[in-house]
Amino acid sequence: MRQFVYPLAALLFISCTLVGCSREMVESIYNVDFEPSNRFAKNLARLPGQYQKDTAALDALINSFSGNIEKKWGSREIKIAGKRNYVKYIDNYLSRTDVNFDTGVIMVETVASTEPKQHLKNAIITTLLTPDNPSQVDLFSSQNIQLKGQPFLYKQVVDQDKQPIQWSWRANRYADYLIAHHLKTKEVDFKKAYYVEIPMVEDQVEIRSYQYANIVRKASQRYGIPEDLIYAIIKTESSFNPYAVSWANAYGLMQVVPKTAGRDVFNLVKNRSGQPSPKYLFNPENNIDVGTAYFYLLKTRYLKQVNNPISLEYSMISAYNGGTGGVLNTFSRDRSRAVRDINRLQPNQVYWALTKKHPNAESRRYLEKVTQYKKEFNKH
């Protein structure tokens, strides 16, 4: 543990509070050993772990799923859904769709050896008409999708006439157009694959975000968490992809981990036993509610002793990604001391420490991204 003479530390902190500290001074104060420690004050709430890995069940599912993919596509062509891409297999794994929300490109492809164009057409139509209901779509099988209700990609893709695709007749016509004018082939594991690439509209992220405006507003009012913060978290976590799933066994728009954040919200906010299921979290309204409720816990329980509201928000954002322990360990391995240190710093100094000295590089970038997205949201 870090050691220095306390009176000197007190003088430094008084100086920081009154006139502000330089970046170098803050860094010298927080030149700490980032090894974890369990020697925390007993009177504080326990440390939650929003992103503590919970991969046992998911690993077993993915291993079986990957084996089925490899049989059809080979070991070099295994694609699985993530936080920012939607991947769905159909047709006994012969056809698949990969929607990349970062690049705004959708690839639909098939390795069917008989009537490949027909298999590809069916896959295109399925992609265009996949419903906006993630709880009804099994991402980890080749189970077919019931094509009913509002399509998930409605208005995010337009056909050759620049019209959005909502009905089967328009999806059929656009599929025929793509195959006639934009069909490509490639070699996949010694097989010939047929595919098309479909561009998404430029404002596809904004279009998705608008779908959740009412849900975000209700969650904001229910838990006292600002709307712009909720939007920024969703954009950072999933780019408004309700089908998002991650390595940490996190699901949906706000990437909630059932066993940690989900269980905490069920037990401490909703007075329910157990934890939310993936199906529960794939429902956008449930997901935003649970994710926002977890911010409520960070604000009112886990980080409640942080006094400055701006410093508190920076700490909450960082904790949502890397846990409360990561936030506190940035300042001291002694938890009570860490809280005191945070309260003695100006908000801009807390931000600097969390984006420069946090023990986890992903969490350092995470706070930067969320605060930037908040600024972008408030420009509109």
Q: What is the spatial distance between Cα 108 and Cα 125, in angstroms, rounded to a whole number?
A: 10
Q: What is the spatial distance between Cα 264 and Cα 374, in angstroms, rounded to a whole number?
A: 26
Q: What is the spatial distance between Cα 124 and Cα 157, in angstroms, rounded to a whole number?
A: 12
Helix or strand run (H / E) with residue 57? helix 56-73
Which residue's structure tokens are 């298999």? Answer: 119
Which residues, listed in sequence order, are joined to residue 62 by a DSSP beta bridge? none
List 77, 206, 237, 376, catalytic entry: 237
- Structure tokens belonging to residue 36: 């974890």
256 phi, psi to nearest 5 deg: -85, 130
Q: What is the spatial distance between Cα 124 and Cα 108, in angstroms, rounded to a whole number?
A: 6
The three-state secondary structure class of 249 is coil
Which residues, listed in sequence order, are joined to residue 87 by a DSSP beta bridge? 98
In terms of Cα–Cα distance, which of 256, 242, 248 is closest to 137?
Answer: 242
In terms of Cα–Cα distance, which of 135, 164, 132 is closest to 147?
Answer: 132
Integer-rounded Cα radius of gyration of the chain = 24
Question: Which amino acid is residue 234, in one-letter code?
Answer: I
In terms of Cα–Cα distance, which of 88, 81, 92 is closest to 126?
Answer: 88
108 phi, psi to nearest 5 deg: -115, 130
Catalytic residue at 70?
no
If one counts every other C-beta atom within 10 angstroms of the C-beta of residue 161, the result is: 9
Catalytic residue set? 237
